[in-house]
Amino acid sequence: MLPWKEMRPSLSQSVWFRGALISTALLFALNPASPSPRAETDTQKRIEEKNQEIKRLEEEAGKYRVTLDDLERTADTLEARLRTVDRAINRLAANIRLTDAKITRTGLEIQQFDAEIRSTASDIGTQRERLARFVATLASSEQETPLEALIRHETIAAFFSTVDNIRILQQSIQSVLAELRSAKHELEADKARAEGKRFELAALAEDLADQKTLQESERRERSNLLGETKRQERRYQELLAEVERKREALQEEINALESELASSFDRANLPKPGSGVLGWPLPDPISITQYFGRTAFARSGAYSGKGHNGIDFRAALGTPVFASTDGKVRATGDTDTACRRASYGRWILLDHPNNLSTLYAHLSLTKVRAGDTVNRGELIGYSGKTGYATGPHLHLSVFATQAVEVSQFRSRVCGRMMTVPLSPFGGYLNPLDYLKES
């Protein structure tokens, strides 16, 4: 039998080669490379296991919150106080375990995204190679005119077969281009999600460090409490009485200083009451334990005849505290360094562009410094029970900015220099007039 070329002597080698190239390209077009499988088997399984663990730990932390609320309302004996501190330490330990689990899960999610990024990048490389082959084949087929191609073919059927192949090849190129664009969008989305998870991981790591700091602070308090009382209820009650005497004397001292301040500000420059310009400084659920002004506690003589200069929120130790709106930190302080258990404790004063200022007090930890710029909803500290506080809570005061000043004075009661925000009582505003309706 004669060789194929001898049987078809009129078919030129160039036409035969071009046909072979088109046939090869079509083979790839009709059988495209499969995209790399998502790396989700082992990693996804571990993520799901962590999700179950996190759910269990969240339930555990929730139980501690309920029992702490009950204990804090009855912590007027040494034994009850110690139980409260112990439960707070255990709750923080539960939160630490929860945050640890979230850190592990986030790390696994980052691994998964990184694997998907590598897989998508590999798919893009494969598609680029296919595209290069298609383009090269199409270019070789278009080097002659349709008339030349027709003359070179022995039959009309052979010519139209080649034309059909070229059309399919062009369609394949369009398909690969679409796949490339889709893969690039997927790659960008994976990179954005991975970057978001890295930010989340950094925030969780900082949160974990804060919780460990708070736990260590509670352990020191427990040690100090035992040292001061020597486990004797009588000494504990004497300590409470002394704290109350000191608080009343310091309040009288502050009232005298504030009475000397002039209440000079234009209310027309303040936001309209009910405008909701301030956001809630705590996560849901919100629970107000004392309102502004002449509350029952104020009428009992708690503020030396003046009303309550803010509102109090129930907030377990270590609850995140957020900036109520955009602003700048005018000052921070800690009155416990000068007069323990007698005033605001750790506090933050923010000035806002709307001519309001907000004070956050009794904090366990502050996360900002004077001069810092903060955004609405940004973490600025954690609730606590520093200063005069029978239990963990957040005190929020709202001022006309022009009516509040940060004053340093030597306290006759405590014998030390104190730094504290002061305002004539007319400069204190009802926070509920400006907080957004829930």
**Higher pLDDT pick, 215 / 159:** 215
User: Has residue 329 got a pLDDT over 60?
Assistant: yes
User: Has residue 150 got a pLDDT over 70?
Assistant: no
Confidence of residue 164 (pLDDT cuts 50, 70, 90): low
The confidence score (pLDDT) of residue 182 equals: 84
Inter-residue contact 291 to 309 (CB < 8 Å): no
Percent of the chain with pLDDT over 70: 79
Please state, rounded to an integer, the average pLDDT across all residues of the chain.
83
The confidence score (pLDDT) of residue 6 equals: 39
From the options 3.40.50.1000, 3.40.50.300, 2.70.70.10, 1.20.1250.30, give the CATH code of 232-433. Answer: 2.70.70.10
Confidence of residue 3 (pLDDT cuts 50, 70, 90): very low
pLDDT in tens, 185-210: 888 888 999 999 999 999 999 999 99
The confidence score (pLDDT) of residue 352 equals: 98
The confidence score (pLDDT) of residue 32 equals: 53
The confidence score (pLDDT) of residue 10 equals: 41
Topology match between the domains 41-226 and 232-433? no
> Which CATH architecture group holds 41-226?
Orthogonal Bundle (1.10)
pLDDT in tens, 338-381: 988 889 999 999 999 999 999 999 999 999 999 999 999 999 99
**Higher pLDDT pick, 376 / 24:** 376
How many Cα atoms are found within 13 Å in the side-chain-facing hemisphere of 416?
12
pLDDT in tens, 201-251: 999 999 999 999 999 999 999 999 899 888 899 998 988 888 888 888 888
Query: Averaged over 16-23, what is the pLDDT?
Result: 47
Residue-range domain boundaries for the chain: 41-226, 232-433
Confidence of residue 265 (pLDDT cuts 50, 70, 90): confident
Confidence of residue 1 (pLDDT cuts 50, 70, 90): very low
